Each structure stands twice: as structure tokens, then as C-alpha cells.
């Protein structure tokens, strides 16, 4: 048997030198750290290293045994895509229309509470990043910046407001009036929080409003100097739309919000809100139909990230049924479990007109403030573009359930 013989030579320095161009050693800064993150999972790991346990668990955790949150990942992981080949796709277009306006991506930032506890830049970072990417930013009733403060940061960017209906109707009406007058064009009415979900990680971590500095909190934050410095040297943390209480999270929700909310209340909200209106937290066909009948432009299919009722039907499986029942005239937004651009494309193919990200945004925020949120959006946008290219699809409107199996 003949063997191939290698011809060897002494290496030349001119050939070796380009291969030996090492980076100059130095302390990793925020930009370098974020640039090395290849996906949202990497940002999550950075966030966990740099954020105290109570704050990280508030984002990462869910209700009771967290079956719903884990099930969201299993639902996405079970999906298989059927690409179309030889379609001559040059560029893909991710721009969509939603709630009467344009969005450069089929994705917006979901409303989140307690945001400046995760990172001192909080809603300011999210609103600024959303403006840069030309996508909507949603402010929560339980946000740590007021509607006016976020409007100032957001500037010409699109702003949505999320409402928990208070027991004090006059306070609720005043809050939505302020939102409308400061340029928020869409209202998301959350319907899946008649009482607080049982979030065991928060209970074990002693989460309160405002946070109390216990010995365990101080020790946990002591080796995270950036978070600690920001927490101590910026304005006090509070829910900007709520009065201070010092109560636990479930106590605040159960004392302030309206457990008897019904569809007549949604009709009342419709009567006082002049912009677009969506009911958030819908998983059933009948509820979706009643929301539209009550005057909503559409619904947000969501399990609240698994943070309310555990073991609910998976939103990804509920989505096609709700889309079919509502038909083409109502708008359907998907929100739960999206941790990649491919996840968003799957939801859009199954009938969503738009998607929202919560944890993915907050992992970026905890990993690096506004720069971290922008890195998260960069990664998600890149993944969406590549997925559409490989599917042989040029626009979001071309997505359809025939590209999906296993949902």
C-alpha cells in the first residue's frame, strides 16, 4: 500500500507572524464581555455572575415548581422547521406593522416590574435600546420609572403602557391619561394577575418593596461591586406608579390590584383609553373572542412567563387555536419563553403578528445595562434574519404554519 509522504520545511517567520497576533492582555471591560456573548444563554450566564441572587432569581424564576416556564422551552425545542430552497432570497425584511404603527423588528420589549433592581439603568436602558432599534418599549404599572421619565428617554420611539387595573378606578384612569398625554399609543391590560402567583424563589429570597438590606443580601452583593455601587449611588428604588409600602411582592399585588376584574371592566377601560388596546394573558379561545368583542384590537397570548398559574396550557400550543378563532382582523401578539430569534420566527409562523421579549431583555440588562440590552437585540435580530434566509422566506408576512412541525 502506497503511503502519502509529507514534504516538510523549516517554518518561516513571515508565515508564522500573522498566526501569532495575540490580543494585548488587560482587564475585560463591559463592551468586550458583551461582544463575546454569542446568544441569550451567554448573556444569562454573565447576568448570573454579576447580579445578586435575589435580583437574578426574580427574573429567572417562575411560579411554584416552575413547570410552565420549563414547558415553554420544551414547546419551542420540539418544533422542527421545513426550509424552502432555491427561492432567490437576496435580503430579508423584518419590518412589520403592529397596533397601528411600524416596528423595524417583529419584536418589542415586554413590560417588566422592579426593573432597576436588576440593573440601575433599568427602564432607561430598555427604552433607549428600543428607540435605537426602532421597536416598541412597554412600561409596566410596576415599573421603576414613571411614564414621564420613560417618555423623556424614549423620545420619538414607540411607547406602550401595561396596566394592572387598580381597586381605585380614579387612580387607574389618571394613570392611563398620563400615559396617553405623554405619547404612549398602545395599552396592554394584564388579565392574569387577579392575585399574585406563588413565586417560591422570591419568597425564599425575602423580596420586598423596597428591597431590605439583610445580611445575606449584603454578603451576596459584596463580590458584585458594580451592582452594589450602582444600587447605593443612584436614586432610591421604588415602583414609580405606586406608593411606598415595605410590603412583600404578593402583599402589594393583592392589596392594590383588582381580583374581581371582568369583561365589563375591560369595556370601561376601552371607554377611557383612546389608543390601541390589547388584553394580555390570554390562553383560551373564548377569552380571546370576548376581549375583541369588548373593544380590544387584539390579545397577547401569554402565560406571564410562567410566573402566575403553574402548569397552564403552553402559549405556543394555544397560539394557533386563538389565531384561527380571531381570524385576520384582530391582532395577536405572542409573549412567553422567547430566548432566540428562531423562537420568535416560530411564533410568527404559527400565527402571531408580533412578539414580546421579557427575560431575554432582562438578561441583557443585567449583563451590561443599555449595552447589554442592545447586544441582546443584536443577537435576536441576527438570528431572525439568518432563520428567514435559511427558510427561504423574504418577509415576515410570508411565514405560515406549513413551515412548522411539532408544535
Q: Tell me the per-residue pLDDT of 251-276, one tens digit each, with 9 for 90 and over.
A: 556 556 677 888 999 999 999 999 99
Q: What angle do CA 83, 89, 93 make, to 5 degrees?
A: 100
Asked if the model's pLDDT at residue 16 lies above 70, the reply is no
Asked if the model's pLDDT at residue 23 lies above 90, the reply is no
- Domains with residue ranges and CATH for the chain: 35-69+96-381 (3.20.20.70)
pLDDT of 252 reads 59
206-237: pLDDT as tens digits: 776 556 666 776 677 677 888 888 888 888 87
Confidence band, pLDDT 50/70/90 cuts, at residue 201: confident
Asked if the model's pLDDT at residue 140 lies above 50, the reply is yes
Asked if the model's pLDDT at residue 54 lies above 70, the reply is yes
68-120: pLDDT as tens digits: 999 999 999 999 999 998 888 889 999 999 999 999 999 999 999 989 999 99
As a whole-number percent, the residues of the chain with pLDDT over 70 amount to 90
Asked if the model's pLDDT at residue 283 lies above 70, the reply is yes
Average pLDDT, the chain: 89
pLDDT of 19 reads 67
The string of DSSP codes covering 132-167 is: HHT--EEEETT-SS-HHHHHHHHTTS-EEEEEPPBS
Of the residues 32, 119, 304, 400, which is catalytic?
Answer: 304
3 state DSSP class of 57? helix
pLDDT of 27 reads 53
Confidence band, pLDDT 50/70/90 cuts, at residue 17: confident
Confidence band, pLDDT 50/70/90 cuts, at residue 244: very low
- Exposed, middle or buried: residue 358 (CB in 10 Å: 0-12, 13-18, 19+)? buried
Report the b/e string of 47-77 with b at 16+ CB within 10 A: bbebbbbbbbbbbbbbbeebebbebbeebbe
Stretch 40-55: mean pLDDT, rounded?
A: 94
Confidence band, pLDDT 50/70/90 cuts, at residue 245: very low
To the query of whether residue 304 is one of the catalytic residues in this protein, the response is yes
Stretch 157-167: mean pLDDT, rounded?
A: 90
Amino acid at each position: 500500500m502506497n503511503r502519502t509522504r509529507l514534504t516538510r520545511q523549516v517554518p518561516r517567520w513571515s508565515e508564522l507572524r500573522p498566526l501569532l497576533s495575540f490580543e494585548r492582555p488587560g482587564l475585560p471591560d463591559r463592551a468586550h464581555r458583551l461582544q463575546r456573548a454569542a446568544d441569550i444563554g451567554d448573556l444569562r450566564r454573565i447576568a448570573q455572575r454579576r447580579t445578586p441572587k435575589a435580583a437574578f432569581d426574580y427574573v429567572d424564576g417562575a411560579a411554584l415548581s416552575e413547570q410552565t416556564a420549563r414547558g415553554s422551552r420544551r414547546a419551542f425545542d420540539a418544533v422542527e422547521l421545513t426550509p424552502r430552497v432555491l427561492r432567490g432570497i437576496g435580503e430579508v425584511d423584518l419590518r412589520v406593522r403592529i397596533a397601528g404603527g411600524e416596528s423595524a423588528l417583529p419584536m418589542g420589549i415586554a413590560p417588566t416590574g422592579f426593573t432597576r433592581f436588576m440593573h440601575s439603568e433599568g427602564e432607561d436602558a430598555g427604552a433607549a435600546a428600543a428607540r435605537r432599534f426602532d421597536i416598541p418599549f412597554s412600561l409596566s404599572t410596576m415599573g421603576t420609572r414613571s411614564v414621564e421619565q420613560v417618555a423623556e428617554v424614549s423620545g420619538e420611539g414607540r411607547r406602550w403602557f401595561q396596566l394592572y387595573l387598580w381597586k381605585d378606578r380614579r387612580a387607574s384612569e389618571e394613570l392611563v391619561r398620563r400615559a396617553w398625554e405623554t405619547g404612549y399609543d398602545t395599552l396592554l391590560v394584564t388579565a392574569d394577575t387577579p392575585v399574585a402567583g406563588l413565586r417560591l424563589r422570591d419568597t425564599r429570597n425575602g423580596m420586598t418593596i423596597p428591597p431590605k438590606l439583610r445580611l445575606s443580601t449584603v454578603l451576596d452583593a459584596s463580590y458584585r461591586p458594580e451592582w452594589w455601587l450602582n444600587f447605593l449611588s443612584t436614586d432610591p428604588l421604588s415602583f414609580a406608579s405606586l406608593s411606598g409600602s415595605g410590603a412583600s411582592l404578593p402583599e402589594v399585588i393583592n392589596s392594590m390590584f383588582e381580583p374581581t376584574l371582568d369583561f365589563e371592566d375591560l369595556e370601561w377601560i376601552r371607554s377611557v383609553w383612546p389608543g390601541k388596546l390589547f388584553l394580555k394573558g390570554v390562553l383560551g379561545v373564548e377569552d380571546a373572542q370576548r376581549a375583541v368583542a369588548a373593544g380590544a384590537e387584539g390579545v397577547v397570548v401569554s402565560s406571564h412567563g410562567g410566573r402566575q398559574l403553574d402548569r397552564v396550557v403552553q402559549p405556543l400550543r394555544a397560539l394557533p387555536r386563538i389565531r384561527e378563532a380571531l381570524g385576520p382582523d384582530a391582532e395577536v401578539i405572542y409573549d412567553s419563553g422567547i430566548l432566540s430569534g428562531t423562537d420568535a420566527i416560530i411564533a410568527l409562523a404559527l400565527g402571531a403578528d408580533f412578539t414580546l421579549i421579557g427575560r431575554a431583555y432582562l438578561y441583557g440588562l443585567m449583563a451590561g445595562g443599555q449595552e447589554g440590552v442592545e447586544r441582546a437585540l443584536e443577537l435576536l435580530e441576527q438570528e431572525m434574519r439568518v432563520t428567514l434566509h435559511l427558510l427561504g422566506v423574504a418577509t415576515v408576512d410570508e411565514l405560515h404554519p406549513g413551515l412548522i412541525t411539532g408544535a
